[in-house]
Structure formats: C-alpha cells, structure tokens
A and B are shown apart, each in its own frame.
Chain A
C-alpha cells in the first residue's frame, strides 16, 4: 500500500514537472515571437495612414477581411468603374460616391497605382480637381517609384487649373518630376515638354493633346469615350473662342453687337456658324459674348458637384443645411462660391431640402 502511495506521488510529481516544462517552453517561445513581432512592426511593410480622419469602418474592413483586403480593393475598384460608367451615361451625372470610393480603395490597398491614377483622372474629369490632386499626392507618398502619378498631377493642373496664375510653373515642375522617374527617350520627352510649357501662355493646346493621347493609347472603351467627349468639349470651346473673335470683328466693322449669332454669317464675318457635335447650340448672350450650351451644361454639372459636396460637409459639421449658399464660404467649407456659368443666371437653393440647381 505504501509503495502504491509513493508511486502515486512520484507520478504526480513527474506530471507536475512536465507541465512546468511545457509552460516554460510556451512562455519562452512567445517571448521570442513577441520580440520578432516588434522587429516586424518596426520595419513595417505598409506605411500606416497618418490621417486622423480615417473612418473607423474602413479600418475594420481592413482588419477583418482576413488578409484579403487587396482583393476587396480590387472588387471595389470594379464597382467604382461600373459606377463611373453608369453615372457618365445618366442624365444628372452626380458622381456623388466617386471620391469616397476611391479613398476607400486606396486605404485598403495603398499600393494600388491604378486606383490613384485613374481615380485622379476621373475625379479631375468631373471637375473635382482638388480631390484628384489630393488622391494622387497620397499615391505619390506610397508609390514614389511610379512616374504615372506626378504626371497625373501635372495633367490635372493643365486640364483643370490652367486659368490659375502659376499653373504652368506647377505643371512644369511635376512634369520634371515625372521625367526624373523615367529614362532615355521618355525622360527627354517629359523634360522637353516641361520646358515648353514654361514658355507657353495658354495651356489649352497641350491639354487637348493629353486627351488625344489617352484616346489613342487606352485599351478601355470607357476611357476612350471619356476622352472623345473631353476633346469634343475642348473643340467646342475653341469654336466659341473663334466666334468671340468674330464678334469683335463684327463690332469693329458695324459698330454694334450682333443681335443673333446668324448675323455673323449673314454679314459675311464668318463663313458658317459652326455646329456643335454634342448636340448643344451656340448663342450670343446679353453681355455680347458667344457661349455654347454643351460647355455651359458641363460646367454647371461640375460646379454643382462641388457645391453639393460642400453642402454635405457643412451638414456633417453643423448638423443643419446652410441658410444661404454664401454661408458655405463664410464657414470655411469653400474658399469661394463658383458663379453660375450661364450669364445672368444664379444658383437656385432650397435651404430646407439642402438642394441646389
């Protein structure tokens, strides 16, 4: 009986020793893995987003997609493209979600060059050049090796901000940055372009060239369609400018402004009134300038988007809609309120609904 008790004790003692060894082993292993983990976090393969305005649901999406967040980014990207095409062909062309989608995509996959690049192009194409430049610049931080991104910034300045003073200088700066990331003939091309721009006064010619280039090189039918449209609009603007010069000649010759556009051709100042391939029409406004409805409608759509985005931001901040559109400038949501493109017309704003047209 005694030997049995001794055996039992010995057995328990053996078991206890074994348990202790196992626990020590596990603790030691976890110690090593923790140290390695700290190393890994220090090296850090993904630069973390410093912005504090990082929406919490995006963070959760990132963490809880079980390592598939770049695939989710891809799927979201496809959705984004679909959405863009849809909106492009719709009547209203609001593109409300485009900026948000692009931002989510690049937060899920910060290395997604295509998203920065095409997101930038699309956002600029709908007139939201601020968001476009912001997006592309974030991309430049994470993909400093890609030449497409500084080029995208340059493009945005050329296409959207050419009226701003210093736009040419900034565009040329980014073109040089692009050249820096390339070699050989490509590098030379961008360098020359940069210097050419610095000498030019009007950037619209080079803007058209950019869209022609996109139309020729893209494999995507939607991009081609977008480029066609943009080229057509630029051409119409050209025609407007041509017609305005004709008006000036008319005034010089006849001492008065033409009442109708047709007078220009009737009186022989121009051979024919050009047509608008986009289905709009040219007209002379009360201020004596020639305008085109297609171009004006496009500008209306662009500026409405910007105003609507500002109204939404105002609403999120203050919890109510602004009483007047000017409040948007007063509260700092916008630097200035864009005017209505149609001469003599103003924005119609409903403070109760928060809608504007």
Chain B
C-alpha cells in the first residue's frame, strides 16, 4: 500500500538522522549512570535505577519525537524530494499518515531497545521486572504517539524551530494540566474555574500515561486504567493526524 511505502521510506530516512544517535547516547549514559546515584541511597538503588531509566526513555523518546518529527515534512519540502511524491496518483493524506507511521516505527524501535536495555540493567543489578514496569514502557510509547502526532502536525504548518518550541511547550503543559483542576478553593464557581476546566479537557493530558512511580515502586495498575489510557491516546493522536492531513491538503509546496 502507498501509505506503507512512504512509511518504510521515512523509517529508512530517520534512522540516518544523527540527532537520533546523540540522544540515544545520552539516554544510555543516564541509565547506566543512575547506579552511581543509587550507591548513597540507603538501599533504594533499584527503585532509583527504575525511576531514572523510565524517565530517560520518556524524556529522550519525546526529544526524538520532537526534533525529528517537527522537521519531517518541512525537510521534504525544503529539499524538494516531495515534488515527485505528491505528483503521483496518491492522496495527500497518505503522505502525511505514511510519514507519521514511519516515524512511529522508529520510535517504537527506540522505545523497545531502551526498554530492553533498562530492564536488563535492572535484572543485572539484582532487581525484578514486573508487569507494571512493562506496562509503564507501553504507556510511554502511547504518550509518544500523541507527542509525535503533534510534531507532525506542526511540521505541516510551520518551520521546524517554531514547531519544536510549540510541541515542547505543549509537552510540559500536557504534564502539568492537572493543576487546572487543582485550583485553590477561592476559585470555586467563578468563570475562571470553568475556563480552566475546559482547557483541562482540551490540552492533551500526558500525565494519564505516567505510571512510572507505580512501576518503580512495584505497585500494580489496573488493566482497565491502562485500557482507557490507550483509548485516550489513540483517539487524540488520530484527531491530530486528521488535522495535519487537512492542513496539508491545500498546502502549496
């Protein structure tokens, strides 16, 4: 299918991006270095290694999604490789979706590799890997689905730098969105409260995907929760992709 042809091509292209390897290197350093912190922690070293590994996978995964994703479509336009693709008998949205799937393939691979390395490291240090840990990695991947969709959307409408800034800001906002419903009591029944609540439902709530404290402490999370979180991520990412495809439909290249 055409979408998968574009996806495969994108995957091959992004695997060559140097930024990817720099970020992976720093992620590796972070994970392996976390043991050093563990030495002075009064016996909490496994928890700390788990915490930092999962944080590294999440943060570096997001950085890869943002930096590679935000320039994805823009680079094609800039380099004019897009001309001979868009002029083929395919829909414009197939191009956008293909690009997204290619990038997600890369991120899936990166997440899997980092997850395996972190897991192996924890086992090596004498810890255990339970279902929660694996689920946490899966939900990190779902979080990245949403972040990447946002990056691709930005890449169809604006330049890479501005796009990266916007996606990064929404990433931080997405994790902080809980504060919009956690207002001090004197805000009750005001217009501000209503606006804040509406904003809470609009901004992608990325903390839904964050079960890392549970994973590091070995606290089980219900499958119902995980299921709903996956639904949330899929629908939100789908919506963003739809908007990206629509934005790209009439764009002059």
Please give the residue numbers on chain A whose beta carbons come within 8 Å of chain B beta carbons, in ascending order. Answer: 15, 18, 22, 25-26, 29-30, 32-34, 36-37, 39-40, 43, 45-46, 56, 59-60, 62-71, 73-75, 77-78, 81-82, 109-114, 118, 143, 145, 218-220, 222-223
**Interface of chain A: mostly helix, strand, loop or mixed:** helix
* Complex A-B: 6 CB contacts under 8 Å: A18-B249, A33-B232, A71-B51, A77-B44, A81-B40, A220-B42
Known: A40-B229, A43-B228, A68-B55. A114 touches B47 (CB 8 A): yes
B202 contacts chain A at the CB level, 8 A cutoff: yes
Contact residues in A for B214 (Cβ distance below 8 Å) = 45, 111
> Contact: A60 with B179, CB < 8 Å?
yes
Chain B nearest CB: distance from A162 CB in Å? 26
Please give the residue numbers on chain B whose beta carbons come within 8 Å of chain A beta carbons, in ascending order. Answer: 37, 40-44, 47-48, 51-52, 55, 58-59, 171-172, 175-176, 178-179, 182, 184, 200-202, 205-208, 210-214, 216-217, 219, 221-222, 224-225, 228-229, 231-232, 235-236, 238-239, 242-243, 246, 249-250
> Contact: B231 with A25, CB < 8 Å?
no
> Contact: B216 with A43, CB < 8 Å?
no
Interchain CB contact (< 8 A) of A37 among B40, B58, B208: B208
> Contact: B47 with A32, CB < 8 Å?
no
> Contact: B242 with A22, CB < 8 Å?
yes
**Interface of chain B: mostly helix, strand, loop or mixed:** helix
Chain A nearest CB: distance from B188 CB in Å? 14
Query: Whole-angstrom distance between the alpha carbons of A25 and B205 in the complex?
Result: 19
> Contact: B44 with A114, CB < 8 Å?
yes
Contact residues in A for B207 (Cβ distance below 8 Å) = 67
Chain A nearest CB: distance from B196 CB in Å? 13
> Contact: B219 with A40, CB < 8 Å?
no
Known: A40-B225, A67-B207, A74-B52. A114 touches B42 (CB 8 A): yes
Q: Which residue of A lies closest to B230 (CB)?
A: A36
Known: A22-B246, A63-B176. A29 touches B238 (CB 8 A): yes
Q: Which residue of B lies closest to A42 (CB)?
A: B228
Contact residues in B for A81 (Cβ distance below 8 Å) = 40-42
> Contact: B232 with A37, CB < 8 Å?
yes
> Contact: A63 with B231, CB < 8 Å?
no
* Given A66-B171, A78-B48: 14 more A-B contacts, CB < 8 Å: A22-B242, A25-B242, A26-B242, A26-B243, A29-B238, A30-B202, A33-B201, A36-B235, A40-B205, A40-B208, A46-B213, A68-B55, A70-B216, A74-B47
